[in-house]
A and B are shown apart, each in its own frame.
Chain A
Amino acid sequence: MEPEHIDEFEKELQQVLQRRPAPPSLKRKVMARRGLEITERRHHYWVAWKRVAAGLVLAAMLGGAMEWQLQRAEDRRRGEEARRQVMTALRVTERALNEMNLRLAARNRNPAQ
């Protein structure tokens, strides 16, 4: 009795659970949303590329600025070095001139020498 009852019940269940037709609007809505998603995806790609490009430009600008700063610091260092050398040369010349001056003054005081 029991298995027969189950079989009947299962048959009924199978009949009840037949596939229902999808709403007529389902495919239209899916295709519309798909179109929107594709447009959105393309837009996102475009925005992403623009961001990458902007990032690259910014990085290049920063790199350029950094390079310019380094170059400027190097030029300043070389300028300082040159100035120091000129000052040293001037000091050496000054000392030599002073010495010469002293000797000349001594000779003028004592012309017999």
Chain B
Amino acid sequence: MANEWQPDFEKLVDEHQSMVFSLALRMSGDRGLAEEIAQDVFLELDRNMGKIKNPEHALFWLRRVAISRSSDALRRRRVRGLDLWVEMNEAHASCTDERPSPLGTRMEFLLTTLPEAQRAALVLRYQEDMPPEEIAATLEAPLATVKSHLQRGLKLLRAKAANHLREYIRGA
């Protein structure tokens, strides 16, 4: 009776579009690219609907594919984080009222400057509130590696944030 769940594609898009888009946005740092990645992820989900077993599996699958497709897109584009961030900021400002605080914006920018693996681990940890074990399963990486990425990423981000905060206060 495990196959009783009937996935409804439109409902899945409604439920998870914010999560997929946010993951792609934080991984790529580019709003336009993130939207394209999110579209591709959902279309890939549509092609693989037969393999999705239950809602939890759908969520796990979407997270994994969103991170993976974002990495692929970054590899293809080979664009530097700073350039992407400028584009993202401009585009975002014109599209939504929900802008983060200036400090939050800086923090998000700093996140895009981290190595990809650390960024993925941090985004899954703090955006999706996932424990390291689940992150390891999602990224198909050893738990120790994920813990190390989280630790190093957080340390690096904290150091960068401290520097930027000093500059920010000096500037203000």
Chain A positions within 8 Å of B, measured between CB atoms, are 6, 9-10, 12-23, 25-27, 29-31, 33-34, 37
Contacts and interface: CB of A to CB of B under 8 A. Distances in A.
B107 interface: yes
Nearest to A13: B126
Say whether chain B's binding surface is mostly helix, strand, loop, or mixed. Answer: helix
A16 B104 contact: yes
Contacts of B96: 20-21, 23
Nearest to B38: A26
A20 B43 contact: no
B35 A31 contact: no
B59 to A, nearest CB: 13
Interface in B111-138: 111, 122-123, 126-127, 129
Nearest to A27: B13
Given A19-B19, A26-B17, A37 B46 contact: yes
Given A21-B98, A29-B39, A15 B104 contact: yes
| Chain B interface residue number, banded | 35 or more
B21 A30 contact: no
B98 A16 contact: no
B172 interface: no
Contacts of B104: 15-16
B22 A30 contact: no
Contact of B100 (A16, A23, A33): A16
Contacts of A23: 21, 31, 35, 95-96
B9 interface: yes
A62 B33 CA distance: 52
Interface in B14-32: 14, 17-22, 25-26, 31
A94 B108 CA distance: 113
Given A14-B126, A20-B22, A26 B35 contact: yes
B21 A9 contact: no
Contacts of B22: 19-20, 22
A28 to B, nearest CB: 10
A20 B127 CA distance: 10
B90 interface: no
